């Protein structure tokens, strides 16, 4: 059986997100789809999976809701279902930037570039390319010459930018993220901070990798995704591995979480080194009484 994985978001006004989320959860359970969905007054952000029939029904039904007619979906076919449950949460934002004065993408955002346009811009030596994702996502894969913000969470990026604003002043800036939702606010923030020439990759890395002409060129490594697949290939022309094993520095694209649940740091690690270092990022975590790896061995 084939399963379809959907990645999507849509900025649209939802008057009562709590009621919307409750109704949507009942609908998803009845349909039998799994995944993670965030609802807020500003819209929806989700990644969801099910059979092809289930997910096709989901897309049709969501587009039928007033305000959602223009929602766009990215999809992948898989041999297994990467989610095991459905989770719908109500938050203040569909992707947390946590600014004192929020960014409304309907009012200010960077210019969208289709994959082919973005591909051409990437080859301009005068552009500045900046990743809008977290550090562990960048370390697994990124566009060539892209700046890596030193952030563990998206809401840290405004503070990082203000410390490095000189890198962007007077420059043409290209931004990108996994599916596009972060860039809509991030590019708008850049413009509000005085960076005039700002572009964002429409549909994000996922769409870029599916373009039949571009085929993911200039993206090195793999794209981190927030489900049990962990990563997906993007560059179908000349792929390279940029991830490095946390312990040896050798090429690696296998992520694990540190076995100490109070740490849970994401580390790139081979199966051999996971055993050698007991799935832990440091000696403190290896000897922690709650270390999952040690508890598993004892049981």
φ, ψ for residue 284, nearest 5 deg = -60, -45
**Number of C-beta neighbours around residue 84 at 10 A:** 10
pTM above 0.85, yes or no: yes
The token duo for 177 is 């993220």
How many residues belong to the chain? 299
Put the strands of the sheet holding 127-131 in their side by side order: 111-113, 197-201, 172-176, 127-131
Pairing of strands 141-143, 72-78: unpaired
Give me the helix-helix angle, 52-63 and 17-31, nearest 10°. Answer: 150
Closest alpha carbon to 178 in 69, 46, 52, 40: 46
Q: Is 210 helix (H, G, I), strand (E, B) or coil?
A: helix
Residues labelled as active-site residues: 177
Residue-by-residue pLDDT tens, the chain, 299 positions: 899 999 999 999 999 999 999 999 999 999 999 999 999 999 999 999 999 999 999 999 999 999 999 999 999 999 999 999 999 999 999 999 999 999 999 999 999 999 999 999 999 999 999 999 999 999 999 999 999 999 999 999 999 999 999 999 999 999 999 999 999 999 999 999 999 999 999 999 999 999 999 999 999 999 999 999 999 999 999 999 999 999 999 999 999 999 999 999 999 999 999 999 999 999 999 999 999 987 776 65
Domains of the chain: 3-90 (3.30.70.100), 111-222 (3.40.250.10), 255-298 (no CATH)
């Amino acid at each position: 059986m084939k399963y379809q994985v959907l990645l999507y978001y849509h900025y649209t006004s939802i008057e009562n997100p709590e009621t919307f989320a409750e109704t949507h959860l009942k609908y998803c359970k009845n349909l039998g789809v799994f995944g993670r969905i965030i609802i807020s007054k500003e819209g929806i952000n989700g990644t969801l999976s099910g059979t092809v029939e289930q997910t096709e029904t989901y897309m049709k039904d969501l587009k039928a809701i007033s305000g959602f007619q223009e929602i766009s979906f990215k999809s992948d076919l898989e041999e297994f279902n990467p989610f095991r449950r459905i989770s719908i949460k109500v938050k203040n934002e569909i992707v947390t930037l946590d600014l004192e004065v929020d960014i409304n993408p309907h009012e200010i955002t960077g210019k969208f570039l289709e994959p082919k346009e973005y591909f051409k811009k990437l080859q301009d030596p005068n552009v500045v390319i900046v990743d809008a994702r977290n550090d562990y996502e960048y370390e697994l894969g990124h566009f060539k010459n892209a700046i890596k913000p030193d952030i563990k969470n998206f809401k840290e990026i405004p503070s990082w930018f203000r410390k490095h604003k000189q890198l962007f002043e007077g420059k043409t800036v290209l931004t990108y993220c996994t599916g596009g939702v972060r860039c809509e606010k991030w590019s708008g923030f850049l413009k509000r901070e005085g960076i005039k020439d700002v572009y964002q990759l429409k549909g994000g890395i996922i769409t870029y990798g599916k373009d039949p002409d571009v085929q993911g060129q200039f993206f090195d490594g793999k794209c981190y995704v927030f489900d049990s697949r962990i990563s997906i290939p993007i560059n179908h022309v000349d792929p390279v591995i940029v991830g490095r094993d946390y312990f040896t520095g050798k090429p690696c694209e296998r992520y694990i979480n540190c076995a100490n649940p109070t740490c849970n740091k994401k580390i790139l690690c081979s199966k051999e080194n996971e055993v050698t270092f007991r799935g832990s990022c440091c000696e403190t975590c290896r000897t922690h009484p709650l270390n999952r790896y040690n508890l598993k061995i004892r049981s």
